[in-house]
Amino acid sequence: MSIKTRLMLALLAFAVIPIIFVGTMGLMNARKELMQARIAELESIADLKKKRIERFFHERKGDITALKYYTAVKRDLPILEGLAGDSLHSQCLSVRKMRKTLDSKQPV
| Domain-wise residue ranges, the chain | 1-51, 68-108
Position with higher pLDDT, 18 vs 32: 32
- pLDDT (tens digit, 9 = 90+) per residue, 53-72? 999 999 998 888 887 777 77
Residues 6+ apart with CB under 8 A from 68: 74, 102, 105, 107
Is the pTM value of this prediction over 0.75? no
8-17, 53-62, 85-94: least confident range: 85-94
